[in-house]
Structure 1
C-alpha cells in the first residue's frame, strides 16, 4: 500500500470558520480544545486498556461485593453475563442469542436500575441496537437512552455554581425540568443574560470513581464468562469491555465533547452543509463537568409531525451525505446517531446533530482502510476486508492473514448463498459482525472507529424507515460514495489509489 494522502487540516478549518468566529472568543477557545483533546484522548485510551485488564484491584472489592448483592437480589446468577453479552452484540459481536424471555428481561432491567450509571450505559448500548438484537431487548431498555433517574434540581444547580465560578452570573435562568437524563449527563434548557437560549449539560457527581470500579468489575465478569462459555470466549468479551471503557471515559470529560462540537462545526461548514449543524459551546462556560452550548431547533426524526409534509427522499439523501462525507473526507464523525441525537426542523428541513460525547476519528491510513473495506464488502472479498483491517491496526501488518481470509470467506460465502448473491444494505451490518467475530476468535482487537461507523450505517437504516420508507438505502449510499470518489476536490480518488 502506498502512503495514503493526508486528511484536511481541522486546525485550519477552525481558523477559517465563520460560524465559530461569530461567537466572540470561540475561535481561540476552539483551537485550545482541539489541541488539548488529542492528548486527553490518548490518556483515556491507555486508562481504558488498564481498567479492562481482568485483575483484582483494591477498589474493585467493594464493587464486586455490591455486584454480588445485586445479583442475589435479582435471583439470577446468569443475568450479568446476559447483559454483557447483549451489550457486546449491540456493537456487532455475536455471543449467543440473548434470552428474550419476560423473566430474563425483567431481572436484567432490575440489575441495570440497581447497578447505577455504568449499567444504564450498557442499557443504552442495547437500546440503540435495532437490527442487531431481538426487538424485546431493544424495547425493554429504551428508557436508558434519556429517561435515567433524574438528578434533583438542587444538585444540578450546585454543580453549575461550583464549576462555572464567576461565569455563573452569565447564566440567567435554568429550567428545573430536565430535557433528558442519561447515564452520564443531564440536560436542561437555559438562558444567558444576553438573551441567548442555551442547553446546560451537567455530569452526575461522583461518576468517574464509580465508572472506574464498575469497569474493573465488568472486566472480571467478562473474563469469568470467557472461562465458562465458549461463545463468550470467541466473541472476545474482554475486548468489548475495553471498547466500552474507552467510549464511557471519553464521555465523562465534557471538554472532549466541546472539542468534538467545534471540530464538527468547522467541518460541516467547510463541506458547505448549511442544512446540518452542531451546537456551538459557549466560551468560558465549559468544564470537565459542565457544558453550556447553544440550543438548536428540531425534534427527533422519529417524532416528526405526520400531519405536516416533508420531503423524505431529500432528508434521507442530505442526512446520509453529511455523515458519509464528513467521515470519508475529513475523518471526523458523530459516533452515536440514534434517533434522539438527530433533530429535524420541519420548518426549514435542516438537521441539528446533538450529544457529541462520542465521536469517531480516523487517521489517513484508517480512512484509506475504510474505503478499501467498503469496496471489498461490495465484492464479498474476504482478503480485501482483512487487509483493510490492517490499516485500522486491528491486525499486525506482518501477520499471516491466510487463515483469517479462509475463515472469513467461508462466512461470506454462506451469506451469499442465503441471499442468492444479492447485496443488501442489511448485509453490511451482518458482514461486519462476521468480520468482528473472526478477529475476536483469533485474538485481535475491535477497531473502535470501524464499529462506530457501521453502527451509524445501521442507524441510517432506521432513519430511512422513518423519513423515506420506500427508498433504497443501499442505492443512496452507493450513489453518494460514487459522487465523492469522482469529485477531484474530495481527495478520495487519491485515497482509493493509495489503498
Structure 2
C-alpha cells in the first residue's frame, strides 16, 4: 500500500528530535527513519544531561518539544498501560499541555473579528495578559458591561493548520504500524489515531465546548458536589468562548487545601462518586479531569465541592459499551471471575472461540493477589491494567471508544489517592455503581422506557398483524433461508435450532405488545397508572418478558 508523506521537512524534524534525545530504538523501529541513521552525526550530539535521563523521561521531553499533537498523543498513550512498559507510562503521565503565550494584541484582534465588535463595545475590561496558555487556546480575564467577571478563551492563531499537518503524519505512522506491527489487528492504530483526531477537532470548536459546559451544568444543577460555570453565548463563537469566572484550589494542591480547612477525605470520596455518576447516570463525563481542570471550592470547607473547567474533551459511550462496562465493574467488585470472562466474550472484545475456563482462571490469577490486601490498598486502575495485559494473550481487541474513559479513570483515582492516601476506592465506588445501575434497569426505568415507546408502537400497530402473519407463514413453509459462508455444520445446526426455539416467544411477545398498544388506545374506562391502563401495563410487561426469553435462547 502506497503512502503519501505530507511534509518531508517535518518528518526529518521529528527524526532529528528523536535522535537528539537518544531515542535510537524508536528510530530504528520506524521504517521511514532507518535511512537517517547514516546522517545521524549531522543532527548533533545529545547533551550529557540527556544521556543520563531514563528512556521514559527522554521520550516525554521529545514529545513536548515536537508540539501539541504529540503531547496529546503521549497523554493518551499514558493511559494504555496494557501496551506500554510501566516506566514509560509513568513518565508520559507527567506531560503538560503548556506553551508560551501568544501576544495579547493578537487575542484582542481575534475576539473582535469573531464577535464583530470592538473590545470596548463588548467588555468593560479585557486583560491582554493571559491567565493561562496551552497549545490549542489561551485564556484572558475580562469583565462584562454589567460588571460580571468572566474569562475569555481564544484559539491560538494558525493552530488548525498545524494540527492538520501533524495529524496527517500520525495517520502515516498508523498506516505503517498497521502494516508492520505483528499485533496491529488488536491494537487498531488507525482507530486510535482517528479517536485522537476527533478529540482535537472537537477542541478546535469552542462553541462545542460551550455546549458541553451547558449540558454538564444542567446535569449538576443545584448539586452540592460539582459546580460548572455559566456560558455567555452572546460573547461566544467557534473561536471565542466567554465563561463565568470561577476561583478554586487545584485538586492536587494539598498544602492550599489544608490551609483552607478543606475536608480532603470527603473531597476524595466525592471525586470517585462523581466519576461513576457522570458515566453511568448521565453517560456524559469530563474526560480531561487532571488537577489543572478540577478545582475545589474554598468557600465550603465542611461540605466541599468540585469546580470543573475546560470542557473541550468530554466523553460518552455507546449504550452497549456502557452496559458491558458496568457489568464488568460489578463482576469485578463481586470477584465473579466467570462472569468477567463471559462478558468479555459476549461484548465481542474477545473471539467467540476463547475458552471461558482458561480466561476465568487467568482473571482469577490476576485479581486474587489484590484481594488479599486491605481494600484501601487496592488500585482499581492497576487491576484493570493487569487484566488488559492478561487479556491480550487471548486476542483482546482494543476498544478505541474506551480510551477516554480509561484515561479519566486513571486521573480520578490518582487525584483521589493524592487527596486521601487511605481512600477505599472499591468501597466508595461499588454502592454508587450498583445504585445507578439499579436505577437504570429497575422497574421504574422499564416503565419509563415502555411509556416512551408507546407512541412508536401505536404508529406501527396497523402493520404488525400482517408482518407477523407473513413471518410465521414463511417460517412454516421453509421460506426463511439462512445464508452460510464458512461456518461448520455443527454451528449451523445449533443456530437453526436456536432460531426455531425463538419463534414461539417472539410471536407471543409481539402479540402481547400489540394487545398492550390496543388496550392503551381503546380501554378508556380501566384504572390507570401514569396515564396508562393497568391492563396495558401488565400485558406490555408480559410481552417484554417473552422477548427477553427469546433473546436468552439466542
CA distance in 2 between partners of 1:386 and 1:81 (Å): 38
Q: Which residue of 2 aligns with 1:365?
A: 320
CA distance in 1 between partners of 2:92 and 2:326 (Å): 36
Does residue 100 of structure 2 align to residue 149 of structure 1? yes
1:129: Cα distance to partner?
A: 8.8
Structure 2: give runs of 5+ residues left out of the alignment.
31-49, 450-544
CA distance in 1 between partners of 2:28 and 2:186 (Å): 14
Q: Which residue of 1 aligns with 2:387?
A: 434
Q: Which residue of 2 aligns with 1:67?
A: 14
Structure 1: give runs of 5+ residues left out of the alignment.
1-53, 84-98
Q: Which residue of 1 aligns with 2:133?
A: 181
Does residue 350 of structure 2 align to residue 403 of structure 1? no
Distance change (3 Å), C-alpha of 1:451 and 1:70? closer
Deviations 1:254-285 (A, max 9, x none): 1221111011111112xx51341112211122
Q: Which residue of 2 aligns with 1:280?
A: 230
CA distance in 1 between partners of 2:442 and 2:298 (Å): 30
CA distance in 1 between partners of 2:390 and 2:171 (Å): 19
Deviations 1:446-482 (A, max 9, x none): 242x332333332222222233222212111113224
Q: Which residue of 2 aligns with 1:91?
A: none
CA distance in 1 between partners of 2:355 and 2:210 (Å): 40
Q: Which residue of 1 aligns with 2:282?
A: 330
1:117–1:183: 8 Å Cα contact kept in structure 2? yes
Q: Give the aligned length.
A: 422
3-state DSSP class of the match of 1:201? Answer: strand
1:164: Cα distance to partner?
A: 1.8
Equivalent position to 1:301, from 251, 263, 268: 251
Higher relative contact order (CA closer than 8 Å, sequence separation 6+): 1
CA distance in 2 between partners of 1:55 and 1:437 (Å): 35
CA distance in 2 between partners of 1:221 and 1:481 (Å): 39
1:178–1:189: 8 Å Cα contact kept in structure 2? yes
Comparing 481-490 with 413-422, greater Cα deviation is found at 481-490
Distance change (3 Å), C-alpha of 1:58 and 1:487? closer
1:380–1:412: 8 Å Cα contact kept in structure 2? no
1:343: Cα distance to partner?
A: 0.7
1:160–1:290: 8 Å Cα contact kept in structure 2? yes
Comparing 292-301 with 227-236, greater Cα deviation is found at 227-236
Distance change (3 Å), C-alpha of 1:319 and 1:109? closer
For 1:215-234, what aligned pairs fall within 5 Å after superposition?
A: 215-225=167-177, 230=182
1:202–1:291: 8 Å Cα contact kept in structure 2? yes
CA distance in 1 between partners of 2:228 and 2:346 (Å): 29
Deviations 1:215-263 (A, max 9, x none): 2212333444566665777644444322222222221211221111011
Q: What TM-score results when the alignment is normalised by the length of structure 1? A: 0.71
Deviations 1:197-218 (A, max 9, x none): 1111111222222222212212
